[in-house]
Structures are given as C-alpha cells and as structure tokens.
Amino acid sequence: MPLLEDSVGVEDLILLEPLAQESLLKNLQLRFENKEIYTYIGSVVVSVNPYQQLPIYGPEFIAKYRDYTFYELKPHIYALASMAYQSLKDRDRDQCILITGESGAGKTEASKQVMSYVAAVCGKGEQVNSVKEQLLQSNPVLEAFGNAKTIRNNNSSRFGKYMDIEFDFSGSPLGGVITNYLLEKSRVVKQLKGERNFHIFYQLLAGADAQLLKALKLNRETSCYAYLNQEVSRVDGMDDASNFKTVQNAMTVIGFSEEEIRWVLEVTALVLKLGNVELVDEFQANGIPASGIRDGRGVQEIGELVGLNAEELERALCSRTMETAKEKVVTALNFIQAQYARDALAKNIYNRLFNWIVYRINESIKVGTGERKKVMGVLDIYGFEILQDNSFEQFVINYCNEKLQQVFIELTLKEEQEEYKREGIPWTKVEYFDNGIICNLIEHSQRGILAMLDEECLRPGVVSDSTFLAKLNQLFSKHDHYESKVTQNALHQYDHTMGLSCFRICHYAGKVTYNVSSFIDKNNDLLFRDLSQAMWKAKHPLLQSLFPEGDPKQTSLKRPPTAGSQFKSSVATLMKNLYSKNPNYIRCIKPNDQQQRGQFSTELVATQARYLGLLENVRVRRAGYAYRQVYGTFLERYRMLSRSTWPRWTGKDQEGVKKIMEELNVTSEEMAFGKTKIFIRSPKTLFFLEEQRRFEIQQLVTLIQKTYRGWRCRTHYQLMRKSQILISSWFRGNMQKKRYGKIKASTVLIQAFVRGWKARKDYRKYFRSGAALTLADFIYKSMAQQFLLGLKNNLPPQKVLDSTWPTSRYKYFNTANQQLRQLFYQWKCKKFLDQLSPKQVEVLKEKLCASELFKGKKASYPQSVPVQFRGDYIGLQGNPKLQKLKGGEAGPVLMAETVKKVNRGNGKLSPRILLLTQGHVILADTKKSQTKTVIGLDSVAGVSITSFNDGLFSLHLSEISSVGSKGDFLLISEHLIELLTKMYRAVLDATQRQLPVTVTEKFSVKFKDGSVTVKVIQRPGGGETGKLSCKKKGGHNLEVTV
C-alpha cells in the first residue's frame, strides 16, 4: 500500500509489508516500470539505473528539492544531496556520501548529479564559480583516463574515487582533494572479448589533428596497436573525437598548462607504442634462452618521442640486473620474461601517469591550510563482485566492500541509537550479522590472508601461488568463513565447483571462490630496476618524475611495499575518514545486463540487493520504531482525524498529536512520544492513519464539492438575472431609439419638402430670368475644372525630346491647350538647361546656332547634328610647333583643322592649316608650319556656300582690309558646319555683327586680278563629301563638280 495518494508502490522500504525479499523486489520493479527509479530506506537512497535520460533533473528540480525537507517530496537523489549540504552548512557537521553498486549500476552518474546539485545551490561569485567549474571539470578528465567499456557498462569506472569537497563557513566551495583506489592497470595490456582499453587511447586517436598525431608518431587506425582490442574500437552513443576536445578543455579549466597537456599525451602515446614492441626468442652463445626485439624502429620512435636512448631501453627490456651489497649480475630474460617486463612497464607507466593526473588536479583545487573549512566527501567505489573467475583484484575489491558494509551497519545503528537518545526513547539492542569476523580473516596484521600473502612474497626460497594456498589451508582449516578443496576433503564434502587452486570466503553478500593464480605476482607488482632507471634517464620531464626510484643517488635495496599492504593501508585511511563524518548512502542497482531500458531482471536485482544488504538495512531500521516524524508535520497531515484539532489547533503540536492518537484509540505499545517527534512502531499503524485520512479527505472533498456547487449555482443564477435585466433594458432602449429615429426621419423629410416648396416659390418670383447665364457659367467652370484636373493627371513625361501632349475633349479649349503645351515644353527646357553645366550649355548654343544657319539649307547639316564639335582636328594641344602659329594672341583656338585652298589660277587644290581664334583666321603651310595669311575677323565680309553635301565655301573679305586687296579665299573643309558655326559666333562676339552666310550654287569670288564666277554642279547620282573637282573655264569662270 503506498503511503501517498499519488505514489507508486512504497516509497520508503521501511514501511514495506510484508518485509521479505519477494515483496522488496516486487516493489522496486513496480516503481522502475513507472519510471520511479529512486526509493528510500530511511535516509538511504536506492537508485535503479533506467538506461535512459529521464526529465527529473535540472534547475527546476534543484530549486524544488532545495525548498523542501527530505520526506516532503518524492524520493530523489537531490533530496539526499540537499539534506547532506544543509546539515553541513547549518549544523556544521562534516558529511560523506557513499555511492556503491556493481559496474553499470550508475554510480558515476549518481556522483555527477550530487556534485551538480551542490554546485547549483552553493554560493555565487567569480572565485566560487571558478572553484565549482574546476571540481566539475575533473570528472571528464578522470573518466577519460580511468573509465573503459566493459561487458556490463559502456562507461565503467575502473578505479575507486573519493573526493573531499571543502567549503567555507557560508557553504561556498573552496576546493577539494581526490583520492583514487586500485586502478585496473591490467586492462592496459589485455582486455576481455567485447571490452575496450581506457577511453583516452581511442579519444586521442580519433580526436587529435594530423599535426598532433605526427608529433606523437601515432597512426589514426586503432588496428595498428596491439594493446587495443581490435574487435571493439567504437561504442554506440559515444563520440571519441568530441570527448577528446572536452578532455583538453577540461584540463585547461582545471589549470593544466599547454606544456603539461602535451606531456600527458606523449606519455599516453608511449604506452600505446610499447605494445607494438615485438619481442622474439634468441639464444646466447652458451645456449641459454634469451630475447631480442624483432624491429628496432618501434624502440627508436619511443626514444625520439620521450628523449630516451633506444639501446638502453632495449637492454632494459631484454635483461635484468641483480644487485647485492657486493656485486651486480646481469641476466638475460627469455621471451616470456621479456614480455612480462614490457607489459609491466606499460602498466606501471599508465598507473603512475593516472596518479600524477590526480595529484595535479589536487594541486589546482586544494585549499590553503590556514582556512577553516567544512568537508563533504563523495565516495564512488566499485561494488561487490562475483565473477566466473575471481582473482586478486576481486579479492581486494570485496574486502573493501566488507569494510564499507561494516561501516554502514555500525554507523546506521549509531545514528539510530543517537536519535533515540536525543528524543528520550529507550534503546533496544538490535540483533544483526557482524561481519567483523570476515574483515578480521582478511586484514588481521599477523594471521590475516593479506598478511600471509605478504609473508609468502617476502619468504626466501621457492615461492608460488600453491605454497600460499597451502599456508591458508593450514591456518584457516577450521575457520567458519573459509573453505578450500583441502578443508572440504577433511570434512568429507564434495563440491565440483571448487578447484584445486581455489579458496572460498563466505562474505556478507554470499560465498565467493577465488583462484590464487597470479596472486603472488599481482601482490608483488614488481618493476625491474633496469626499467625504472631507463625511464628516469629519459629527457621527458613528466616521464622522469614518474620514476624517482630510477635515480642512482636514491637507489635503495629495500623492497617496495606490496599491492595488498598498500590497498589495506588506503582502506584503513578511508574508514577513518568515513567514521569522522556523518554518512549518507546511495545504493545503485542495474536492472539488467544488456543495458536496455524498461527491462527488469528479478534474479539479477535480487543478487545485487543481497550484495548491498538492502534487506538487512531495512531490518536494522525497523528493529525499533519503523516511522518517526516531527510533531508539527505530523499534526499538519493528520489533524482532520480529530474534531479537537480540525479545522484549527491553537495548542502545542505535541498535545495536538496526542489528541489525535487518543481519539483513534492507538495503543501505547504502537507509539512513543519523543521530545520533538512521534515514533510509530508498525507500518500497519501508519497505513491505518493513512486510510483514515483518505476517508476524511473524501468526506471533506464531498463537503467542499457540495458547498462549491451551491455557490456556483447561486452565482450562475445571479449572473443570469443581471444579464436578463441588462438585456431587457437594452432591448427597450433600442426599440425606443428606433421609434425616435423613424419620427426624426419623417420630420426631416417633411421639413425638406416644405423648404423645397418655399424655395421654388421664391425662385419663380425673383430669379427665373437669369437662370440660363448662371447655369452656363457654372457648366463652363465645371468643364474648365474637369479639363485642368484631367490635364494634371495625364501630363506627359518630363523628357525634353518627348513632344506628346493630351488632346482636349472640347474644341473650346484647343487654344488654351496649345498655349499650355508650349508653356509646359518651355518649362521642361528650362528645367533641362538648369541641370546642365556651363560647358554643356555652350555646346548646345553652338548646335542651336548651326541649326539656325544651316537647317533646311545645307544637305550635309543633318549628318553634323549627332556629331560632337571637337574644335581641334590636327592635335594642336600636343604639338608646340603648331601652337606657335597662334602668335601672341590671347584666348583659345576655337577651330583647328586642315583645309584645301582652291588655286585662283588653275583650280588646283593645296592643303592649308586653318586656325580660328577669337580675333583672326590664320592660314598656314602644312609642310613648313609657317603662317601664310592672317585674316582679322573684322575683315570677313561674308561667306558663300552651296546647298549640296560638300565642304566648299568662299570667304569674302572687305576691300578696306590689308588682306582684302589680295582677294577672297575659296576653301574646302571636312567640318564645314562646325567651322562656319564657330566663325559666325566669333565674328558676332568680336564685331557685334552677324556674319552673312549665303547659300547659292553660283557666286562671285573677287581675286586680285579680277572677279571669277564660281558655278557648282552636282554629279549624277549625288555627290560625296571630299569628292570635289575644280575646272577653269575661260578667264572668269570656275566650274566645281561635287
């Protein structure tokens, strides 16, 4: 039965009835199928991975859970994060959030949601935002170097992470410290079928540009590298190239310099290239097996990449130096030993690189030692693992989970006991399974499994995994939580699942069988000193710093601590840290192995529930009172169950709660009253309260509905009545308005008839005689108005050459229409002239003058109209010699061209240069460019031309001039129209008289010896300009054929 009306299943498993494994799984499945992935066990959050994005995150939900207490809204990870943060901020209590679960259960995503919530609700400011951004950006960097695709999870964390986020007194983040645990470095050299190496290798190959790959001596194809699984190079839904850019940006935000990022990528490339160093079998001269490198190119590239001597690296990979206090012995490694050394080096480099990255992040986000701070820890660590073949890694992981379970049970009981004591409720001892005996079996300093493993690793003589197992069988043969083939045989038990090289531990979550193969090697975790020294000699700053033991000055013969002892020490430190803080738990569960949305495997979830101890947790929390609530909240929810407290209670909250419980006849055994809370023992009592509340709410809803319906009907009736009154009044008013309108219209009509009758009567009496003139004048004015308005709307375009004009509808207006046409044309011309420059006006004046002189008189005139008057046809401006012909006369040369002079004696033609200035006409010799004749414009008496298409003209001179005594000039010009136009204007400007231009085919020319009559005739078919011949006929006649 759900606690809240709109809830799915039971939101808090403490209230589950009946309390059993089946009902717990059924409740989780019901909520999962309805996309309710979070469920409570008291203050513990159980999270089932939905394998899809749900719309239950973001700023809206953060604001929602920020304003409510833990139990007021649906179960959510934000509620737990809010409770932890508020406890840290308001109560000054350091917090830790423990996130556990199998690979693929959503631990990494849960830790991201916790950090995003804390980042959203804590303080603002430039420095605070910078710290928050650095803390959040540490996730993509650690995921790239510490996460990989596994069979169970596409983004599985292959290391444990504990982050302490440190806050100031106001709750604003100052920085943090990250601690990493047990990176799965064996994945660097080998992956199971269907799995990938760490993400960074694929991101680097996919996302680096060609220049970076060339600098790192890498190929983009993953198939080129032995350490990368060839079967799985891509993961659905994961963009390695984009993620590489994200990692680079995140490292920059955290504080990595560009040089440090380059170092990290170079060391990563070094690990990839180590896998491609191919080793081969060789034999020494004495026949002892040895090893060598097939192709030295790979070692050479590694040396160039990190500044390492290739020969030294090859020697370190293929031999080993044994050093004692007295001597050194160099031993060649066989093929298998050399492969082990190569892989060990690759694993150590990557493991140390990962530790350095964590150290570098901590350097950026650490807080000064002098600042007073509060701490919230977030633990994202691997869950309990039971595989088909469990080795050393599963052993230490399960040991860590045993310790976390111990902490969980102890702190949960401690929290319960403290709450009972705080509220003054008697504490009853709770029976539970204490897994301390299992922890002691593993971690005992003298007789524990880890101690025996270390002892076997340090013991001189022949040491193997079998001798280690024999020692365990001897020590723990009678231990209740230890089994092996030997102990089973002693008890005459047969178990075909137990191998000869295996032992089994009965953990809190179930029995796990471990194979001791490689326990000794993995615990030793040795790297030959030759390899450490070779790495230290590299000229690469980062790689050299990763191997400080390679420094000859710091060489120590002391054996380094084993992997088991280091992990035990780390777990002890972690436990001490957790005990010092207030714990908060998130238990992550994956619903299926296929990572499919909507699928819920009951068997798989049951196994994880057992690993996580969910049922045990519920039993511990229900051992005393299953439900407790603050008096005020309890009274607010259930006050309608008592007439004394409903609808308003004015007394104390505790007294109101007691009134409710008394009237409901709840027995005293089922409840207890603390100082601030009421405690209810059985969930049935709470369900009874909820059932009574539902019944009362139904009664109240019925009452509210009845009251509301009555109010609504009354309101509706009043509105209808008001509307009816309004409509009636409007209708009556409208009818009266219409009646008034009809009366008014009738009155106006009668008045109009009367006024018309009176007007007609007066008109007949006074104005009938002058009506025709008045009407005629009115009609004329109307016609004139229509004519002018029509003309206004149909004016032709304002182009000068456009001579169109609308005709008049009435002949009466023809004269006015022509005058208006002329005015409009003159206006257009004036407007056109106003737009012209002085030079353009001058050109038009010349053309106008030419039109007045020659239009309709000279056949060659039409050809000259479109041609522009140039004035200079002999290149006068660029010829200084010709410019001298002008003499000292001021002013421009108006016309300069070559003309032909007709000889007076024989009619032959001779070329002359003619210059027309403002005062003279100058004729000069074309060959010598010497002036022959200078004629003043005042001496020019007239000009005679023909009407034909020719250039012949006669220049008549006055007899009183100095040149006139020689006679007139008969000349031929190719630009006759332009020459005579300019000469006409020049004479007019110089003498203020018009130059006579006579058009005739027969004219007289005065020469020195007498006058000659020139007769011009046209050839049959018409003449062409320039085709002209002169022929002397007699002494006084000259015939010119054109």
String of DSSP letters for 614-671: HHHHHHHHHSS-SEEEEHHHHHHHHGGG-TTTSS---S-HHHHHHHHHHHTT--GGGE
* Catalytic residue (choose from 133, 312, 385, 419): 385
| pLDDT score recorded for residue 6 | 65
What is the mean predicted confidence (pLDDT) over 111-136?
82
Q: For 209-220, how does the pLDDT look when each residue is reduced to its tens digit (9 = 90+)?
A: 999 999 999 999
Report d(CA 116, CA 93) in Å as an integer.
Answer: 21
pLDDT for the residue 606? 92
Catalytic residue among 27, 111, 147, 156: 156
47 and 37 Cβ atoms separated by less than 8 Å: yes
pLDDT tens digits, 983-997: 999 998 888 899 999
Tell me the C-alpha distance between 158 and 148, whole Å. Answer: 7
Q: Mean pLDDT, to the nearest integer, of 42-50?
A: 90
Q: Among residues 49, 100, 139, 157, which one is catalytic?
A: 157
% helix, strand, coil for the chain, step of 5 = 50, 15, 35
The model carries a pTM of: 0.63
Task: Determine whether 856 is an active site residue.
Answer: no
Q: Check if the beta carbon of residue 398 is closer than 8 Å to that of residue 512.
A: yes
782 to 518, 789, 790: CA distances (angstroms):
122, 10, 12
Q: What is the mean pLDDT of residues 745-769?
A: 84
- Reported as a pLDDT band with limits 50, 70 and 90, residue 965 is low
Q: Using only the alpha carbons of the chain, give its radius of gyration.
A: 58
Is 157 known to be catalytic? Answer: yes
**Active-site residue among 82, 153, 197, 946?**
153
pLDDT beyond 70 at 838: yes
Identity of residue 378: V
Q: Check whether 394 has a pLDDT greater than 90.
A: no
Write the burial class of residue 143 (CB in 10 Å: 0-12 exposed, 13-18 middle, 19+ buried): buried
Q: Is the dihedral of CA 252, 257, 260, 262 positive or negative?
A: positive
**Res 537 pLDDT > 50:** yes
Q: Indicate the range of 26-30, 425-429, 873-877, 961-965 predicted with least confidence.
A: 961-965
For residues 65 and 899, what is the distance between their CA atoms, to the nearest angstrom? Answer: 109
Name the more confident of 764 and 23: 23
Reported as a single tens digit per residue, the pLDDT across 220-259 is 998 889 999 877 778 888 899 999 999 999 999 999 999 9
With tokens 């570098």, the residue in question is: 360
User: pLDDT tens across 846-862, in order?
Assistant: 888 888 888 888 888 89
Choose the catalytic residue: 108, 138, 229, 860.
108
Which residue in the list 27, 103, 917, 949 is annotated as catalytic? Answer: 103
CB 980 within 8 A of CB 953: yes
Confidence of residue 600 (pLDDT cuts 50, 70, 90): very high
- Could you list the beta-strand ranges (E) of 449-602: 482-484, 502-507, 510-515, 582-589
pLDDT score of 1029 more than 50: yes
* DSSP, residue by residue, 351-379: HHHHHHHHHHHHHHH---TTS--EEEEEE
Mean pLDDT of 740-760: 92
Question: Catalytic pick from 104, 160, 275, 656?
Answer: 104
- 385 labelled catalytic: yes
Catalytic choice (298, 383, 674, 871):
383
Query: What's the pLDDT score for residue 832?
Result: 82
Out of 650-654, 738-742, 774-778, 953-957, which region has the weakest mean confidence (pLDDT)?
Answer: 774-778
Confidence (pLDDT) at 361 = 92
Is the pLDDT confidence value at 1 over 50? no
617 is catalytic: no
Q: Of residues 1019 and 144, which shows the higher confidence score?
A: 144
How many of the other CB atoms lie within 10 Å of CB of 351? 20
- Check the CA dihedral 691-693-696-700 and report its sign: negative
Q: What is the pLDDT of residues 502-515, one digit of tens each?
A: 999 998 878 899 99
Q: Are 441 and 476 spatial neighbours (Cβ–Cβ below 8 Å)?
A: yes
Give residue 367's pLDDT: 82
Average pLDDT in the chain: 86
Using 50, 70 and 90 to split pLDDT, how confident is the model at 3? very low
Q: Higher confidence at residue 26 or residue 293?
A: 26
The yes-or-no answer on residue 1011 being catalytic is no
Reply yes or no on whether the pLDDT at 2 is more than 50.
Answer: no
Catalytic-residue membership of 291:
no
